[in-house]
């Protein structure tokens, strides 16, 4: 299979994710345990992604309570040559109560915990560094100075190559970015979750020369719903655009809609099917017009652009 070669924009060539060698489509690992893959099957999946130029894999310490990272680590043990060909992303900062003491789920972005969580991820993944380490969700009790110290320490120790955040608001991102360089903000975005358009998130990231990393680009599967009127409306428009642009299928249009944003977004695909990974890549080749793009937004909102 020939590796997909995207035509990088001028800004994409300078952003932190591009400097890490990350492709615009990233393979999401959060459902790996649901997929029922063995370590050897995961090795084959990783090779299939690499063959198509998808070399980055997104993790979090809470996916499967660490089991997803452990399985990925087993795959890397089976084929040690893989590590030098890929980029590994992981997140930390969400803590669950212990079975013995109880309590509630909470967020922890303290310096000590972030360093500890990174160490544990490295052990499970059987690697000596993460290419990108993210805070999973903003912690109301965190100190930006404390977080910055943790990031600096981990980078100086060579345990991470870059640091970023996930699910941060525009203001939270700006405050932390002023203290330590952030490589990305991993956020939810789709026609059903367009909040980043109204919060100035994309503009703030572009001003900082930082690209967003988009999770749930297909609305968490909502696009496939047969009973959701909004989903049907959006699908109908995407199908029309599929024929207009000669796309492989209407899902490629869903990805093209996100890639059309000027902030040079990176997209996480959460599918085990290599064909679905390829569909996301196909979206990079489709140049939607402004009218095309706004037609999808109008279908999602159910009303014309004001």
Q: How many CB atoms lie within 10 A of CB 65?
A: 11
* Least reliable range by pLDDT among 1-5, 77-81, 165-169, 179-183: 1-5
10 Å CB burial of residue 100 (0-12, 13-18, 19+) is: exposed
User: How is residue 104 annotated by DSSP?
Assistant: -
pLDDT (0 to 100) of residue 224: 96
Does 9 have pLDDT greater than 50?
A: no
CA neighbor of 136 nearest in space, from 175, 98, 100, 165: 165
Identify which of 157, 238, 159, 148 has the alpha carbon closest to the alpha carbon of residue 191. 238
Residue 7 has pLDDT above 50, yes or no: no
Inter-residue contact 253 to 245 (CB < 8 Å): yes
Cα 208 from Cα 22, distance rounded (Å): 18
pLDDT (average), residues 12-30: 89
Torsional class of 113: left (φ above 0), alpha (ψ -120 to 50), beta (otherwise): alpha
Mean local confidence (pLDDT), 138-161: 97
pLDDT of 173: 97
Q: Is the pLDDT of residue 77 over 90?
A: yes
**Is 294 marked active-site?**
no
Q: What mean pLDDT value characterizes the chain?
A: 94
Phi, psi for residue 19 in degrees, rounded to 5: -65, -25
Asked whether residue 238 carries a pLDDT value surpassing 80, the answer given is yes
Q: Where are the domains of the chain?
A: 16-225
Domain 16-225 has CATH 3.30.43.10: no
Query: What are the pLDDT digits (tens) for 201-233?
Result: 999 999 999 999 999 999 999 999 999 999 999
Phi/psi for 193 (5° steps) reads -130, 70
Q: Cα angle vertex 251, ends 61, 255, to 5°?
A: 60
Please give the share of the chain, as a percent, with pLDDT higher than 70.
Answer: 95
pLDDT of residue 158 exceeding 70: yes
Annotated catalytic residue: which of 63, 113, 266, 294?
A: 63
pLDDT at 2 over 50: no
d(CA 162, CA 81): 22
Q: How confident is the model at residue 12 (pLDDT cuts 50, 70, 90)?
A: low
Torsion of CA 94, 169, 87, 256, to 10 degrees: 130
Say whether pLDDT at 67 is over 70: yes
The pair phi, psi for residue 165, each rounded to 5°, is: -135, 170
Strands, E, within the chain: which ranges? 25-28, 56-58, 87-92, 94-95, 106-107, 132-135, 163-166, 185-188, 213-215, 266-269
CA angle 154, 178, 181 (to 5 degrees): 35
Question: With a threshold of 0.85, does the pTM exceed it?
Answer: yes
User: In the prediction, which pLDDT does 14 show?
Assistant: 55
Over residues 91-148, the pLDDT tens digits come to 999 999 877 677 899 999 999 999 999 999 999 999 999 999 999 999 999 999 999 9
Quick one: 101 exposed, middle or buried, by C-beta within 10 A (0-12, 13-18, 19+)? exposed
Checking if the pLDDT of 274 tops 80, the result is: yes
């Amino acid at each position: 299979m020939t590796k997909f070669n995207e035509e990088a924009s001028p800004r994409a060539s300078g952003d932190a994710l591009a400097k890490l060698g990350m492709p615009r489509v990233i393979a999401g690992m959060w459902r790996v345990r649901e997929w029922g893959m063995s370590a050897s099957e995961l090795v084959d999946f990783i090779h299939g992604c690499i063959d198509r130029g998808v070399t980055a894999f997104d993790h979090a310490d809470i996916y499967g309570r660490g089991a997803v990272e452990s399985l990925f680590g087993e795959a890397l043990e089976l084929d040690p040559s893989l590590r030098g060909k890929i980029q590994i992303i992981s997140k930390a900062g969400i803590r669950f109560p212990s079975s013995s003491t109880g309590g509630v789920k909470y967020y922890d972005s303290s310096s000590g915990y972030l360093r500890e969580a990174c160490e544990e991820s490295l052990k499970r993944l059987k690697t000596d560094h993460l290419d990108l380490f993210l805070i999973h969700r903003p912690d109301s009790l965190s100190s930006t100075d404390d977080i910055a110290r943790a990031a600096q320490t981990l980078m100086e120790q060579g345990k991470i190559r870059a640091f970023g955040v996930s699910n941060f608001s525009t203001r939270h991102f700006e405050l932390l970015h002023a203290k330590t360089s952030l490589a990305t903000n991993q956020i939810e975005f789709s026609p059903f979750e367009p909040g980043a358009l109204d919060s100035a998130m994309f503009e703030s990231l572009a001003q900082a020369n930082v690209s967003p990393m988009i999770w749930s680009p297909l609305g968490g599967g909502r696009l496939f719903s047969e009973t959701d009127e909004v989903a049907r409306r959006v699908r109908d428009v995407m199908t029309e655009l599929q024929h207009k642009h000669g796309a492989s299928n209407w899902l490629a249009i869903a990805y093209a809609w996100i890639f059309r944003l000027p902030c040079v977004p990176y997209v996480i695909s959460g599918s085990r099917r290599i064909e679905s990974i390829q569909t996301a890549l196909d979206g990079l080749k489709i140049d939607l017009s402004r009218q095309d793009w706004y037609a999808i937004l109008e279908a999602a909102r159910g009303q014309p652009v004001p």
